[in-house]
Amino acid sequence: MTDTRERWALILGASSGFGEATALALAADGYEIAGVHLDRREGQRHADEIRARIEAMGRRAAFFNGNAADDENRAAVIGRVAAILAERRAAGAQPYVRVMLHSLAFGTLKPFLATAPGDAISRRNMEMTLDVMAHSLVYWAQDVWRAGLFGDGSKIYAMTSEGSTRVIASYGAVSAAKTALESHCRQLAMEFARLGTGVTVNAVRAGVTMTPALMQIPERDKLIAHANDKNPMGRMTTVDDVAAALVALSGDGTQWITGNVIGIDGGELVSG
Ligand SMILES: NC(=O)c1ccc[n+]([C@@H]2O[C@H](COP(=O)([O-])OP(=O)(O)OC[C@H]3O[C@@H](n4cnc5c(N)ncnc54)[C@H](O)[C@@H]3O)[C@@H](O)[C@H]2O)c1
């Protein structure tokens, strides 16, 4: 049966990369969009453009600029989204958060071992990276669920990478965050299922993709060359490859897909 409810997507990291592409692709598929991002001037201007593009498609767009790992910000955003959905309900719609995408890139890229302590990862770096890139998923999932914004058929996705199982020099803290993020997805998938919520949770492992976050990685040139060489499709993954797959995975008939790490990489990981 067709879902006649009003589908919303809550995109954490909506102003760039996978988050931006997925917000636009879901809007084109009929979703209303709530986006969270952390940007200064130029980034804010870009976020405004994305919001305008979504509205030009005839969809609603509510964007919030602030740290998604901050408890007060999270409460404020969820409160605002809940109020918007309540207004929609009062107007006769049946809105719910169909998709929540965790796509935050905010990690410290330093090796664990360096002679000068400032060149190596610190406790603060490690904790911040794990908090933003992994643990914040759990707190958003908890609070969106407690606010009653999910519904039967809701899907939570979190962006992971090959770095959850592979090692490069600067990626130790992010690697740990990816491993934790995949574990959090499994745990949330199991708990949401046992509570009979109808909410599914999957990690999405994208191939190496040209985005601002990739360009921050000191070893980016090697990663890009390796991905171009290794990917059996003959090119790197794009943000649109991932966005299109997320739209398809968020369609009807996907409620049995939960607790996985889903590769969207053109076969990059498995190619020798
Ligand atoms: N680019 C790749 O090759 C690749 C591959 C696999 C997985 N990933 C993962 O995908 C996710 C998104 O990466 P991207 O490449 O699209 O990055 P990006 O830099 O293009 O986008 C990151 C987004 O996160 C937002 N953001 C960062 N910190 C935030 C915070 N504290 N609070 C709120 N918003 C915040 C930014 O404003 C931006 O919208 C990351 O988890 C990344 O590790 C990237």
| Residue 88, pLDDT score | 98
| Residue 125, pLDDT score | 97
CA–CA separation, 153 and 174 (whole Å)? 30
| Residue 3, pLDDT score | 87
| Residue 272, pLDDT score | 73
Is there an atom of ligand 1 within 6 Å of 38 CB? yes
Residue 253: half-sphere exposure toward Cβ, Cα within 13 Å: 3
Q: Select from 222, 104, 107 the least CA-distant residue to 175.
A: 107
Q: Determine the atom of ligand 1 nearest the C-alpha atom of 158.
A: 41
Q: Determine the atom of ligand 1 nearest the C-alpha atom of 20.
A: 39
Q: Select from 71, 86, 70, 67 the least CA-distant residue to 8.
A: 86
Is there an atom of ligand 1 within 6 Å of 16 CB? yes
Query: Maximum distance among all alpha carbons in the chain?
Result: 63
Q: Report CA(14)–ligand 1 centroid distance (Å).
A: 9
CA–CA separation, 46 and 14 (whole Å)? 10
| Residue 45, pLDDT score | 97
DSSP H helices in the chain:
17-28, 41-56, 71-90, 123-130, 136-146, 172-194, 212-216, 220-230, 239-249
Phi, psi of 11 (to 5 degrees): -110, 115
Is there an atom of ligand 1 within 6 Å of 109 CB? no
266: alpha, beta or left, given left = phi > 0 and alpha = psi -120 to 50? left
Q: Report CA(86)–ligand 1 centroid distance (Å).
A: 30
Q: Report CA(12)–ligand 1 centroid distance (Å).
A: 9
Is there an atom of ligand 1 within 6 Å of 15 CB? yes
Q: Report CA(152)–ligand 1 centroid distance (Å).
A: 28
Question: What is the SS3 assignment for 107?
Answer: coil
| Residue 2, pLDDT score | 79
Residue whose CA lies nearest to ligand 1 atom number 28: 106
Is there an atom of ligand 1 within 6 Å of 105 CB? yes
Is there an atom of ligand 1 within 6 Å of 103 CB? yes
Mutate which of 33, 37, 71, 131 for ligand 1 pocket (most atoms within 8 A of beta carbon): 37
Q: Select from 229, 191, 5 the least CA-distant residue to 97.
A: 5
Domain range summary for the chain, segments of one domain joined by +: 6-106+129-166+177-208+240-264
CATH of domain 6-106+129-166+177-208+240-264: 3.40.50.720
pTM for this model (two decimals): 0.98
CA–CA separation, 155 and 35 (whole Å)? 16
| Regions of the chain short of the pLDDT cut 50 | none
Q: Report CA(195)–ligand 1 centroid distance (Å).
A: 30
